[in-house]
Structure 1
Amino acid sequence: MTLEALLAGLHILAILSLVVFLSSQAALCRSEWMNAAVVTRLTRVDMIYGITAVVVLATGLFRTWWGMKGGGWYWHQPLLHFKLGLFVVIGLLSIKPTLTYRRWARTLQATGSLPDEDEIKATRRLVMLQGHLLLLIPIAAVMLARGVWTRG
C-alpha cells in the first residue's frame, strides 16, 4: 500500500512538472516576446520538459508493474493503450520544436539573429497542440481508475 501511494505521488508530481514546462514553452514562444534570452530559456525549458516526460513515462510504467492491480490487469486495458498512444503522439510532436529551439540557439550564437515571426508561430502551434492533446490523458486516467471501459 505504501509503495502504491509513493508511486502515485511521484507520478502526479512528474505530470504536474511536465505541464509546467510545456506551459512555459507556450508562454515563451511568442514573436512579440522573442529575444536572445528567450531563445536560450526555450532550449533549457524544452530540455527539462523532455526529462519530465521520461519521468512521467517511467513512474507510469512502475505503477503498472508494481502497483496493486499489477501489469497483467493494466496491460489488457484499452484506456491504458489510449493514454500511452497519446503520450507517444505528444512526444513525436515535441521533436520538431526541440530541433527548432536548438537551431534558433545555434543561429543566435553564430549570427546574432532571432527567428522570424512565421517560424515562431508555427512552432508555438505545435506546442499548443501538445498541450491540448495532453488534456485528454487525465480524462482517460480517471476513467481507467474508476473502471470505465475496463476488462476483467
Structure 2
Amino acid sequence: MWTEALLAYAHLACVLGWVVFVTSQAALARSEWLNAAVLERLLRVDRILWICWAALLLSGLARAFWGVKGAGWYWSQPLLHTKLTLLLALGAAAWPNTRAYTRWLAQWRSEGRLPAAEEVDVVRRRVMVIAHVMLLIPLLAVALARGLFTR
C-alpha cells in the first residue's frame, strides 16, 4: 500500500512541477519583458521543465510497472497509450522552444541583440498551446484511475 501511495505522490509532484515551469515560461516569454536576465532565466526554467517532464515520464512508468494494478493491466489500456502519446507530443512541441532559448542567449552574448518580437511571440504561442493541451493528460489519468474507457 505504501509503494502505491509513494508512486502516486511522486507522479503528482512531477505533474505539478511540470505545470509550474510551463507556466513560468509563459510568464517570461514576452517580448516586452525580454532582457539578458530574462533570457538566462528562461533557459534555466526550460532545463528544470525538461527534468520535470522526464521525471513525470519515469514516475508514470514506475506506477505502471510497480503499481497495484500491474503492468499487464496498464499496458492493455488505450487511455495509457493516449496519455503517453500526448506527453511525448508535448515534449516534441517544446523542443523548438529549448532551441530558441539557447539561440537567443547565444545571440545576446555574441552580438548583444535580443530576438525579434515576432519570434518571441511564436515561442510564447507554442508555450500557451502546450500549457492548454497538457490539461488533457490529468483528465485522461482520472478516467483511467476510475476505470472509464478501460478494458
Q: TM-score range by the shorter chain?
A: over 0.9
2-structure distance, mates of 1:13, 1:88: 19
Please state how far the C-alpha of 1:119 moved relative to its aligned partner. 0.2
1:115 matched residue in structure 2: 115
2:10 matched residue in structure 1: 10
2-structure distance, mates of 1:13, 1:58: 12
1:75 aligns with 2:91: no
Superposition TM-score, scaled by structure 2 size: 0.99
Root mean square deviation, CA, Å: 0.5
1-structure distance, mates of 2:142, 2:120: 35
1:105 aligns with 2:109: no
Superposition TM-score, scaled by structure 1 size: 0.98
Secondary structure of 2:149 counterpart = coil
Deviation track 1:43-90 (CA, whole Å, cap 9, x = no partner) reads 000000001100000000000000000000000001101100100110
Gaps of 5+ in 2: none
2-structure distance, mates of 1:143, 1:100: 36
2:133 matched residue in structure 1: 133
Deviation track 1:100-147 (CA, whole Å, cap 9, x = no partner) reads 000001001101111110000000111111111101001000000000
1:85 matched residue in structure 2: 85
What is the identity, as a one-letter code, of the residue corresponding to 2:54? V
Q: Equivalent pairs: percent with the same residue? A: 51
2-structure distance, mates of 1:68, 1:119: 47
1:53 matched residue in structure 2: 53
1:150 matched residue in structure 2: 150
Secondary structure of 2:148 counterpart = coil
2-structure distance, mates of 1:110, 1:76: 52
2-structure distance, mates of 1:29, 1:124: 6
What is the identity, as a one-letter code, of the residue corresponding to 2:28? L
2:124 matched residue in structure 1: 124
1-structure distance, mates of 2:83, 2:4: 20
Aligned residue pairs total: 151
1:16-27 paired onto structure 2 within 5 Å: 16-27=16-27
Please state how far the C-alpha of 1:32 moved relative to its aligned partner. 1.0
2:32 matched residue in structure 1: 32
